[in-house]
Amino acid sequence: MDQQNHLSARLVVEDDFQVGAVHDRLFGSFVEHLGRCVYTGIYEPEHPTADEHGFRRDVIELVRELGVTAVRYPGGNFVSGYRWEDGVGPREERPRRLDLAWHSTETNEFGLHEMAAWLAATGGNELMEAVNLGTRGLEEALDLLEYANIPGGTALSERRRANGADEPFDIRMWCLGNEMDGPWQLGHKTAEDYGTLAASVAAGMRQIDPDVELVVCGSSSHGMPTFGAWEQTVLERTFENVDFISCHAYYQPALNDDGTRDMASFLASGEDMDGFINDVAAIIDATKARLKSTHDVSISFDEWNVWYQGEEPSKVPEGRGNWPVAPRLLEDIYSVADAVVFGDLLITLLKNADRVRAACVAQLVNVIAPIMTEPGGPAWRQTTFWPFALTARLAKGGTVLEPKLTADTVATPRYGAVNGVNAVAVRCADGTLAVFATNRSQDAPAAFEVTVPGTAETVEATTLHDSDPFAANTLNDRERVAPYANDSAALDAASGTVRVTLPPISWTVLHIR
């Protein structure tokens, strides 16, 4: 039923019906050598807050507050031309190189050791390391694994120790290249060629360390012409030796013919992400059945976000003599509407927690990021910071409950009629209940009712919404948008029912004790 003036929705929470555990890695992020993510993002030795390593302390504090658990590094498209050896050893000897992916100059001032030290400074976040399968292959991947994970006694492990890391980095999760299906990728390959290479790299890496967790590249978007066939071919070749297949997805409002944007479909982007996950899960299952395998492969949604691709901030430098160091690139400023879509994507990831066991918001600082910085100046939270931080805080370590949701629908040009309210419930690690919800309608408030089991005593509702859905936090107005206590929330303890009004274009968390 389409009800554009007023929506209602109801979620029934039952502990007996569970989707699965919320894996810590669901709250991963991504640091690529791209634009100012590393340089003047996390690393800026001249900054007033810099520590002895040159890491910005103001950024470290925000990363901790964000609740990130794992960081994919060093790319991204960047990794497909990267020589990891350039980034280790004495700084003054490290070479400057062309970065073909982003038409920039890489100084290599920051590399693997710095990344490991920075992760320790953020509270021990996990490193998800990507190897270059664009310009490089098996030998270099094995060298990097030996350098990183073997305690000592070999040329490469001793080189690591000589470079200051006595203990191995012990990296568990490894990405076998990046977006190798994309024609833009340096060393782009057919599914057959990539699948064969990834299979040999995976087998070789396991000969060094049988317990590494390996991520094979899936499609760089659901809409790729090779989507589906790519997954099938790659998985057939690698299935027994990999633990994850990746999904990447970025959303932005499409431009209508009259120059306006299709906000209705944009607000329902979670529909596409959900379909993408279901499609990949079906291919995993079909491959497992055909191979008569007992092995499980999960999804690593290791790049997801809102990204205004093709617009001004994403235009890469051009010109034969123009290879800047750390240019301003992909510095999208996110609105409230973007944050609502972002929160909806997080809800979608949680709903699929049985299949998605790792996910990385792309990226972490400055580059399509929840955290922004100014060189020599402040760091601040984008609108998207809030749904991530509040979801991570409550959902980490919890269990996703099966979403039994009925909702009035809203019409979208791209997806047809979709639920006007999207929601998921998580039984938190401390036994309390968290419900995350979005109102995807552009003009109708939603009356949202949640029926909870057992006795509930209190409910706290926090909402992200603004009368101007395009409001954003900027350098000059860094706290323009923040979540607020939604006073409409009320608990009827006798019937175990929580009622709350969700304003149009909003994201809300209910914390029920």
**Is residue 146 annotated as part of the catalytic site, yes or no?**
no
Name residues contacting ligand AHR, limited to 91-130 (CB under 6 A): none
Q: What is the largest CA-CA distance in the chain?
A: 72
- Residues 419 and 7: their CA atoms lie apart, in Å, by 10
Residue 264 has a CB neighbour count (10 Å cut-off) of: 18
SS3 255: strand
**What is the pattern of x (binds ligand AHR, CB under 6 A) and - over residues 156-195?**
----------------------xx----------------
**Is residue 179 annotated as part of the catalytic site, yes or no?**
yes
For ligand AHR, the binding residue among 68, 234, 362, 461 (CB under 6 A) is 362
Of residues 303, 331, 402, 479, which has the active-site annotation? 303
Closest CB to ligand AHR: residue number:
76
Closest approach, Cβ 245 to ligand AHR, in A, equals 15
Closest approach, Cβ 136 to ligand AHR, in A, equals 17
Q: Which residue has the tokens 């899936």?
A: 218
Q: Are the CB atoms for 110 and 43 separated by under 8 Å?
A: yes
The two three-digit tokens of residue 371, written as one number: 């955290």
Nearer to ligand AHR, 220 or 508 (CB): 220
Q: Which residue has the tokens 């914390």?
A: 511
Total residue length of the chain: 513
Nearer to ligand AHR, 41 or 76 (CB): 76
Q: Which of 177, 169, 107, 174 is nearest to 136 (CA)?
A: 177
- Nearest 5°: phi and psi at 113? -65, -40
Nearer to ligand AHR, 369 or 401 (CB): 369
Q: Cα–Cα distances in Å, from 200 out to 140, 193, 495? A: 13, 11, 59
SS3 39: strand
Closest approach, Cβ 214 to ligand AHR, in A, equals 18
Q: Are the CB atoms for 395 and 24 separated by under 8 Å?
A: no
Closest approach, Cβ 248 to ligand AHR, in A, equals 6
Name residues contacting ligand AHR, limited to 330-359 (CB under 6 A): none
Closest approach, Cβ 373 to ligand AHR, in A, equals 17
For ligand AHR, the binding residue among 32, 85, 344, 466 (CB under 6 A) is 32
Assign 3-class secondary structure to 127-189.
Answer: EEEEECCCCCCHHHHHHHHHHHHCCCCCHHHHHHHHCCCCCCCCCCEEEECCCCCCCCCCCCC
CA dihedral over 486, 487, 491, 497, signed as positive or negative: negative
Name residues contacting ligand AHR, limited to 44-83 (CB under 6 A): 75-77
Nearer to ligand AHR, 75 or 503 (CB): 75
Q: Are the CB atoms for 133 and 187 separated by under 8 Å?
A: yes
Nearer to ligand AHR, 175 or 437 (CB): 175
**What is the pattern of x (binds ligand AHR, CB under 6 A) and - over residues 372-411?**
----------------------------------------
Closest approach, Cβ 179 to ligand AHR, in A, equals 5
**What is the pattern of x (binds ligand AHR, CB under 6 A) and - over residues 262-301?**
----------------------------------------
SS3 288: helix
Name residues contacting ligand AHR, limited to 437-466 (CB under 6 A): none
Cβ neighbors of 3 (< 8 A, separation 6 or more) are 408, 409, 420, 444
Residue 100 has a CB neighbour count (10 Å cut-off) of: 15
For ligand AHR, the binding residue among 85, 114, 272, 303 (CB under 6 A) is 303
379-381/404-407 β-pairing: unpaired
For ligand AHR, the binding residue among 363, 383, 419, 486 (CB under 6 A) is 363
Closest approach, Cβ 78 to ligand AHR, in A, equals 6
Cβ neighbors of 430 (< 8 A, separation 6 or more) are none
Helices (H), 239-318: 263-267, 269-290
Q: Are the CB atoms for 363 and 327 separated by under 8 Å?
A: no
Query: How many residues bind to ligand AHR according to rule CB under 6 A?
Result: 10
Nearer to ligand AHR, 217 or 277 (CB): 217
What per-residue string of b and e applies to 396-423 under the rule 16 or more CB within 10 Å gives b? bebbbbbbebebbbbebeebeebbbbbb
Nearer to ligand AHR, 77 or 473 (CB): 77
Nearer to ligand AHR, 70 or 421 (CB): 70
Closest approach, Cβ 491 to ligand AHR, in A, equals 41
For ligand AHR, the binding residue among 107, 220, 300, 419 (CB under 6 A) is 220
Nearer to ligand AHR, 247 or 400 (CB): 247
Closest approach, Cβ 75 to ligand AHR, in A, equals 5
Closest approach, Cβ 318 to ligand AHR, in A, equals 18
Of residues 179, 318, 374, 457, which has the active-site annotation? 179
Query: Which residues are designated catalytic?
Result: 179, 303
Interacting residues with ligand AHR (CB under 6 A): 32, 75-77, 178-179, 220, 303, 362-363
